[in-house]
Copies of this chain bind each other. A is one copy, B any other.
């Protein structure tokens, strides 16, 4: 979800007083895997990632940048433990809102509620497409697709995070890069 591209940006402004600004350094954990999400983050500056633990190895599942809204939305909505952690990759400036206050907004703004439902559909769509790139392509093709579709990720994020995001080791990604 993206504040800027929102059809009703003014809707958000009505509730601006409910947000708190927060500055954090790089590598700060905002939500730990297994915990219940009680906060939602809007990124003003910097970038975040979500990751899962796999036998001590971190596997990155998503990247977020300026304008993105980040939360374990399933956990936030259903009060179930989050499947993943949320962490900053750079020093960040965030706008945060609590679950309670966000609930208030939802109740008072059908536009925002509608937007959340659409957001959910988009999330499902994105998740499906990501899954399909794993079913369809080998690591090399997945990397090429990433460069094509999300060049800003490749430019901005350290390679070993990208490697785990592609489901391969950093060694293998390094080989793929030097193959062409």
A123 within 8 A of B: yes
Q: Are A120 and B130 in contact (CB under 8 A)?
A: no
Interface string of A117-155 (1 = CB under 8 A from B): 100110111011111101110000000000000000000
- A contact residues, total (Cβ < 8 Å): 26
Residues of B near A7 (CB, < 8 A) are none
Chain B residues closer than 8 Å to A121, beta-carbon distance? 74, 77-78, 120
CA distance in complex: A135, B135 (Å): 12
CA distance A132 to B164 in the complex (A): 11
| Interface contact A136-B59, CB-CB below 8 Å | yes
Q: Closest CB of chain B to A134's CB: distance in Å?
A: 4
- A35: interface (CB < 8 Å): no
Q: Cα distance A28–B54 when bound, in Å? A: 40
Q: Which residues of A does B touch, CB under 8 Å?
A: 52, 54, 59, 61, 74, 77-78, 83, 117, 120-121, 123-125, 127-132, 134-136, 164-165, 167
Q: Cβ of B129 and Cβ of A127 under 8 Å apart?
A: no
Q: Which chain B positions have C-beta within 8 A of A52?
A: 132, 135-136
Q: A130-B131, A131-B61, A131-B131 are in contact. Are A54 and B124 (CB under 8 A)?
A: no
State whether B132 touches A74 (Cβ < 8 A).
no
Residues of chain B lying within 8 A (CB to CB) of residue A132? 52, 59, 61, 83
Q: State in angstroms the CA–CA spacing of A77 and B117 once bound together.
A: 12
